[in-house]
Amino acid sequence: MSKLNGIKLHHNKNTRDCETADFPLPRSVVIPMSQHMGAPCKCIVKKGDTVAVGQKIGDTDAFMSAPVHSSVSGTVTDIEQFLLANGAVCEAAVIETDGLQTVCPDITVPEITDKQSLIAAVRESGLTGLGGAGFPTHIKLNFDAVKTPIDTLVINAAECEPYITSDYRELMESSSDIIEGILLVQKYCGIPLCKVCIEDNKPDAIKLMQQKTADIKSIDIVTLPSSYPQGAEKVIIFSATNRIVAEGELPANQGVMVMNVSTVASIYRYTQNGMPLVERRITIDGNAVTKNAGNYFVPIGTRVSELLAYCGAEGAKKVLYGGPMMGICLYDTDQPVVKNNNAILAFKEGKLPETTACIRCGRCVRTCPLNLMPVLIESAYNAEDIEDLKRLKVTLCMNCGCCSYACPAHRPLAEINQLAKAMIPRK
């Protein structure tokens, strides 16, 4: 087996040639204290405080967490309980901007001398994975070099979701930052080889990266076929290294670390200017966008409604954080842009076709990259047969959505898999 199952999608990379522009500074931002997997931060500013760009406004002692910084200069007008798009409630700081964007005086360029100082610096930068799940980056770097030595750093630049081009723009606009970031991680974490994985629908980026790394032996540019979900962690590891991350294992068990391309570039930038993660590149697109579709540097905490207004997408029926395959629906556009958002997509139509009866065509089985059998998982779920769900390994499902996409009966298989996972009692 050399290739995992998957599906071919329309790429819709309409914004690929849109150079990243600065998004106009919003009048106010709302910055949630929980923006990623892991423990939420505690807000360390209070109502009425004046804050500056890059100032830390939330932190925690929990290891599995990254601090939160202000993306604007201005005044904290409120600390509110905020309902996140994923349904969780957390604290959020509402900050009214003063338009000056005064930089916080505490900002200093970190001094990096070894792995521990790199990890400490990355934690201070508040960096989380910029590609999707938003795993705090310093935790990834803090692997145990004795128990799970890592020999390959896989840089995920597959960007297999339709519409999104923010990683592509990173490749085109900041290739030097990416390469410097890779060399930095390789040097301090002792990872001999790096594979930068780019889908073949981005030939310009592949060429550019090949040119720039021609003299660097430790960095390989790998061209992967454009197939969804090429950028999923297990899939890209398999495609790049032929290794299989088994059930219950982390990529480190296979000697691999996967990092998103924008994340690795951000590490380098932080080591140069000491500015924490306060803005990020976002693709705004979708068929409800009537003007200004493109890529923008958006301050974290900018409300999505501002993005939609700027792009003439007020008529949208469905607005997504992220791509059409794995993105999360916003129920309220007052939700802010957070660290792991790589795109805001606005669509005119919301509903998918009606669900009909399963015809046992097997398409869901044939498209699942992990060889799961969603059709059987659905019956086991309906029968509440937990033993069978375990046997069918539903816990492996990564919710990539290939099965639901391919199903001619339009059954919500990926969703059922998540519900089925929840049915299995945790040990």
Partner 1 sequence: MKGLFVSPSPHRSSNASTARIMLMVIISLVPAAAAGCVFFGPRAALVLAMCIACCIIFEALCRIVMKREQTVGDLSAVVTGLLLGMNLPATVPFYIPVIGSFVAIVVIKQLFGGIGQNFANPAIAARIVLMLSFTGQMSGWVKPYWYTSVVDAETSATPLAASWLNYTENGAAYKMAPFTLSEMFFGETGGCIGETCAAALIVGGLFLIFTKIISPATPLAFIGSFALLTLLYTGSAVETVYGVLAGGLLIGAFFMATDYATTPLTMWGKIIFGIGCGLITFIIRSFGSYPEGVSFSILLMNLLTPYIDRLTKTLPLGAKKPVKGGNA
Interface contacts to ligand SF4, rule CB under 6 A: 358-364, 367-368, 370, 372, 374-375, 397-403, 406-409, 411, 413-414, 417
Of 114 and 334, nearer to partner 1 (C-beta) is 334
Place of tokens 């600390």: 79
Binding to partner 1 by residue 409, rule CB under 8 A?
A: yes
Question: CB under 5 to 8 A by kind: which of ligand SF4, partner 1, none does 238 bind?
Answer: partner 1
CB of 80 to ligand SF4, least distance (A): 35
Question: CB under 5 to 8 A by kind: which of ligand SF4, partner 1, none does 386 bind?
Answer: none
Question: CB under 5 to 8 A by kind: which of partner 1, ligand SF4, none does 411 bind?
Answer: ligand SF4
How far apart CA 138 and CA 207 sit, in angstroms, is 30
Of 360 and 391, nearer to ligand SF4 (C-beta) is 360
Q: How far apart are the first and last CA of the chain?
A: 33
Nearest C-alpha neighbor of 344 from the set 291, 289, 284: 284
Binding to partner 1 by residue 219, rule CB under 8 A?
A: no
Binding to partner 1 by residue 242, rule CB under 8 A?
A: no
**Cα separation values, 205 from 182, 201, 211, 345, Å:** 16, 9, 10, 23
Question: Is the N-terminal amide bond of 229 cis, ω within 30° of 0?
Answer: yes
**CB-based contact 317:349 (threshold 8 Å):** yes
Place of tokens 């007008």: 77
Please, which residues have CB within 8 angstroms of residue 145's CB and are 6 or more apart in sequence? 115, 189, 190
How far apart CA 155 and CA 260 sit, in angstroms, is 6
Q: List the one residue from 118, 370, 378, 420 that touches partner 1 (CB under 8 A).
A: 370
For residues 309-328, which are near partner 1 according to CB under 8 A? 314, 316-320, 324-328
DSSP letters of 327-370?
A: PEEPS-TTPBP-TT--EEEEES--PPPPP-------HHHHH-TT
How far apart CA 138 and CA 119 sit, in angstroms, is 5
CB of 396 to ligand SF4, least distance (A): 7
CB of 168 to partner 1, least distance (A): 20
Q: List the one residue from 2, 61, 247, 426 that touches partner 1 (CB under 8 A).
A: 247
Of 286 and 369, nearer to ligand SF4 (C-beta) is 369
> Residue 265: which region, alpha, beta or left (left: phi > 0; alpha: psi -120 to 50)?
alpha
Question: CB under 5 to 8 A by kind: which of ligand SF4, partner 1, none does 107 bind?
Answer: none
CB of 44 to ligand SF4, least distance (A): 39
For residues 137-166, which are near partner 1 according to CB under 8 A? 162
Residue 103 in tokens: 């930089």
Task: Select from 58-66, 172-180, 213-221, 411-419 the region that touches partner 1 (CB under 8 A).
Answer: 411-419
Binding to partner 1 by residue 344, rule CB under 8 A?
A: no
Task: Select from 134-142, 190-198, 264-272, 368-376 the region that touches partner 1 (CB under 8 A).
Answer: 368-376
Binding to partner 1 by residue 386, rule CB under 8 A?
A: no
For residues 276-295, which are near partner 1 according to CB under 8 A? none
How far apart CA 289 and CA 18 sit, in angstroms, is 14
Of 136 and 327, nearer to partner 1 (C-beta) is 327
* Helix (H) or strand (E) run with residue 421 in it: helix 413-423
DSSP, res 91: E
Question: CB under 5 to 8 A by kind: which of partner 1, ligand SF4, none does 417 bind?
Answer: ligand SF4
